[in-house]
Structure 1
Amino acid sequence: MFLNTGHLEEEIDSLLKLIEWPLPPATTSLEFSTHPKKSEFSLINPRSTYVIGEKVKVLIVARDHRGRPKSYGGDFFYAKLHSPNLKAGVSGSVVDNYNGSYTASFIPQWSGETVVSIKLMYSSEAIAILHEKRATRPDKFYFYGYFMKDGKEEEVECNVDLPGQDVCEYYDERYEEKWVCQRPRTLPCDAYRDHSGAGFREVLTAEEQKFFSTYLIDQEISTDAEPLNVLPQRDVIKGRRPCTPRLWTPHPSGFYYQDEWKSLVCSNEHFNDSKKVAKCLSDKMIYMLGDSTLLGWWEYLVKFVPTLKQISLHVPHLPGPLLATDAEHNYLVHFRAHQKPLRMNRISVKELHYISTELDGLGDRQGMVIVLTIWAHFVTYPVELYIRRLRHIREAVIQLLERSPHTKIFIKSANTGHDLPLVNDWLSYQLDTVMKAMFSKLPVTILDVWEMTSCHRIPQFLHPEPIIVKNEVDLMLSFICP
């Protein structure tokens, strides 16, 4: 075994401790919450010039709606350096000083005029609401179950739990997961046939909704700081390492320059020629299992490589399964969505498989590449549910590597772009932290795409623009063909 999984409760406790977040000392009104236009940042020890590779620090002072300095932390910021004309960007890191101030650090990666950007994504007061709703209202997104028998059909609400209701319960003993649907009026529980997403239930009070007003979230912080004048390095950095599993990921993990991602983890390649992609994937079987942010990778490859042709399996595009093959170069690319909870159009419940089940069905095959991601559909639920799902996936990964040690396994991280009040980047960031911790000791490659979406010049979307997807896929290919 590669990892001693330990006891579930002990691991849950340690992971929850890892993502603990400083919450306000008490429930407060809107006027005492952080206001982006009243808050400000300034350079620490500003200079007329900087050099590539040296650290630049910024002090952020959070202020409330009346302009008064905050006395506690917990705000969620994004920080980056960028040069729009150079199509360049790099993420910074933010440290909470727990007194209403924050220190942001940056490492410039290119020469020329460079702008510092600090965005308040969510105030600590808004995060306190998110924290409470995640734990107590897993029903904020709900689903439909469709029951059919003898020509009759009934539609009912379904979810991981429906407290106090008369339900049909579907419990998977192997994966320790429960799914329930309201009991149909006339049809039996075994008539459950189809599943679909339904919608969001309003669980915020009128007062709570004010903390998520558009003028308060995802907003630039004010500053009098001038753009940085960055000079080239005198000493040229030596070549980076080949892209192989279990490499340490620094911060920043890379940067954009002329819209190309330059990894600081390893020497990544840019696959601008479809023939180069086909050659890299030759004689391989690529299995992509996860959500629609990974489906975007499958779609990119099919569109970019002319010889890679989709074979219709006569199923909906999401959840799939989808299959594309390249007979000329002898490889295939397969995609399948993960099991419920899954927000999607109506589909047979038989088409929804656990990632663990899919992995358990794979033997020792030459040229096998597995790409996994699972997070976007779990942000509305208590973290414990997510941890339980990941533990079973992790165990299946361990067993697969024991059967097939040459298999390359990639874990795609979360990306930014969740922008609904109760489905957002702070929740995604929490799950992403958990995922990285749970897989960090395995001989797998974690493809950290969080920064690849957070520091690009294009506004953030849950499903990134093609230029970002290309860079993400190119990073994966760099590990497949280092």
Structure 2
Amino acid sequence: MTFYRWFTFVLTVSALVISSLIFRFSPDRLVVYGNELKFKYGSHVPVNSRNWLTTTVFRNQVTSFSTFNRSLVEIVNPRTVYRVSEQVIIRIEARTANGSIQPFGGDFLRMKLFSKKPYSAIGPDTFIDYDNGTYLASFTLRWQGIVNVSVQLVHPRCVIDTLKGITQEGIVESFVFIGRFEKQRQNGTSYVEKVQCGLQPRQIPFCNLSANHTHGPWFCNKAENSNISCRDWTHFNFDASKSTKKLKKLITPKEYKALLRTKVPFTTLPMPSFQVEASNITSSFTTSKLPLCNFQPVPTGISTRGFFHKGIWQPFDCRLTHFESEQVQSCLNFKSMYFYGDSTARQMYEYIILKKINCVDNGNKWMRHCTGQNTTMLFKFHGPPVRKGTPGSVRELGYIADEIDNNQEGGPGVYIILSLWAHLVYPDKTFYRDRLLSVKSAIDRLLERRPETRIIVRSANIREHSIGAFLLVSSDWVALQGERILRDVFSKDERISFLDVWDMTLVQECPDNVHPRETTLIQMLDYLLTMICQ
């Protein structure tokens, strides 16, 4: 262990020990950005806990929740000047609208330190929820300048209880998927009918369009027209308006009101800020001695793994290369990149195709072969469920396990990038896990045939929260539960590499979006290409 890493480790441990002494009780869990390490309950029960070891907050008890303008944000170890590589500990005291301290924890908070121009930002090393309205976050200082504190209330505790109470059956019943069935006769006669589809049969008779071996349950009502058979399914789409109205009926008006108060910045005045100067150990975070980022296995937990420095994403343990178009074309010579999954995978595919390489359009926008560079690029959307508003052709979809088993050639220079989260995370966690396990099994078979193939799994990312009751299935908290499952499934195989963009989007400068803005997307692609193009 280098002196710098040892020094940082000692500071972190010391800060957490001191903070525990300050509050004189043991936390029930230490949360390191989603990775919960359970501790035995300490002998000192929080004085304002209201019997927190035994009391359960039920969904119908939405009486008070943490507010953004009354809660307290302060520095535990305040100083006029800090040094690079030192620790800062932030204390948050959640308060209700009348100014009283919350008697319980469980708020879903988002925190960062940041500097405005040029933009730099980092998430916490550790985050402690004391379950009595008090939270602590520790940060390692990585750059010089004026540093500001940002705390955002993503969801209060009562909303988390609401999200936990939503059932699989409620979601499945609320989603309105439309299937278009079309039969064309040789004499020119055409029969068309639209029916409702979903993860379970809606009525009898129905069409079973499931792919059981890839855990792809899918059913559509049978067309009333006898000329149309179950084989005539041609198009699909999702009725977001009707689905949102049905989702809203799953919760009470009070719960809905609380749900809409999302991603609200704390406005405690004044929010802390401080000066950071060079230290005797290092003047700033330098990358010159770090190796280039290479293929790394999927981690088991979720933690802060890097930070933005002057607008550039910098992992802690490696450095990235920024790629201009000419460098991308040169890098991808004699390589094939296959993007499988949702629209976040499509976004990466399209950006490379449109802005980074010069490929002739061969009439298939989802597959390009660049003859000059002998480069192949492909995107394929995963199988149902797909929440796509405009009608799409069934031929655009493919269960990823089937694609890998039946159509995928592996070998040296072949890179498969998987992004599987936005449409597949449901309250019943077994559905998402089983779908991922079917993909994992197909990967195992491919690597047995062609072990030189590179598999890269992309993490989920933070997204916008401006879609009303749809937050019941698309909230960042819901995505976080899926992210834990994804890492658990793929972290068991060191042959599978990871593109971690979760903590990158947590502290990004641009507004949150399910499809990250270009400034963040460029950092993601630089990370991906640095791994591939060494």
TM-score, structure 1 normalization: 0.88
Distance 1:225 1:35, change over 3 A: closer
Identity %: 27
SS at match of 1:94: strand
SS at match of 1:243: coil
Give per-residue Cα distances to partners, 1:116-173, cap 9 Å, x unaligned.
Answer: 1010001111111122225342233321011223522111111112466653322323
Q: Which amino acid aligns with 2:266?
A: I
Q: Does 1:389 align with 2:435?
A: yes
Residue 258 of structure 2 corresponds to which residue in structure 1? 211
Q: Which amino acid aligns with 2:211?
A: D
Aligned 8 A contact 1:302 1:309 in 2: no
Give per-residue Cα distances to partners, 1:189-220, cap 9 Å, x unaligned.
Answer: 3333321122223223323211123xx21011
2:371 to 321, 327, 330: 327
Superposition deviation, residue 306 in structure 1: 4.7
Q: Does 1:143 align with 2:177?
A: yes
Q: Does 1:414 align with 2:494?
A: no
Superposition deviation, residue 49 in structure 1: 1.7
Residue 96 of structure 1 corresponds to which residue in structure 2? 129
1:55 to 78, 87, 98: 87
SS at match of 1:244: coil
Q: Which amino acid aligns with 2:399?
A: Y
Residue 349 of structure 2 corresponds to which residue in structure 1? 298
Long gaps (5+) in structure 1: 1-16
Residue 241 of structure 1 corresponds to which residue in structure 2? 291
SS at match of 2:117: helix
Aligned 8 A contact 2:337 2:416 in 1: yes
What aligned pairs does 1:198-347 form with structure 2 within 5 A after superposition? 198-199=239-240, 200-202=243-245, 203-204=247-248, 205-213=252-260, 216-223=261-268, 224-236=270-282, 239-246=289-296, 251-271=303-323, 273-313=324-364, 322-344=366-388, 345-347=390-392
Once residues 356 and 138 of structure 1 are traced to their aligned partners in structure 2, the CA distance between those partners, rounded to angstroms, is: 25
TM-score, structure 2 normalization: 0.80
Distance 1:418 1:222, change over 3 A: closer
Residue 479 of structure 1 corresponds to which residue in structure 2? 531
Aligned 8 A contact 1:373 1:412 in 2: yes
SS at match of 1:437: helix
Task: Pick the structure with greater CA Rg.
Answer: 2
Aligned 8 A contact 2:144 2:278 in 1: yes
Give per-residue Cα distances to partners, 1:16-36, cap 9 Å, x unaligned.
Answer: x98899995233544412222
**Which stretch of the first structure deviates more once superposed, 279-288 or 175-184?**
175-184
Long gaps (5+) in structure 2: 1-33, 39-51
Compute the RMSD of aligned alpha carbons: 2.5
What aligned pairs does 1:347-362 form with structure 2 within 5 A after superposition? 347-360=392-405, 361-362=407-408
What aligned pairs does 1:2-41 form with structure 2 within 5 A after superposition? 25-41=57-73
Aligned 8 A contact 2:57 2:161 in 1: no
SS at match of 2:480: helix
Aligned 8 A contact 2:121 2:308 in 1: yes
Paired residues, number: 456
2:218 to 179, 189, 197: 179
Give per-residue Cα distances to partners, 1:283-334, cap 9 Å, x unaligned.
Answer: 1000000111111111211222252344322xxx6xxxx0233333221221
Once residues 176 and 270 of structure 1 are traced to their aligned partners in structure 2, the CA distance between those partners, rounded to angstroms, is: 39
Aligned 8 A contact 2:415 2:455 in 1: yes
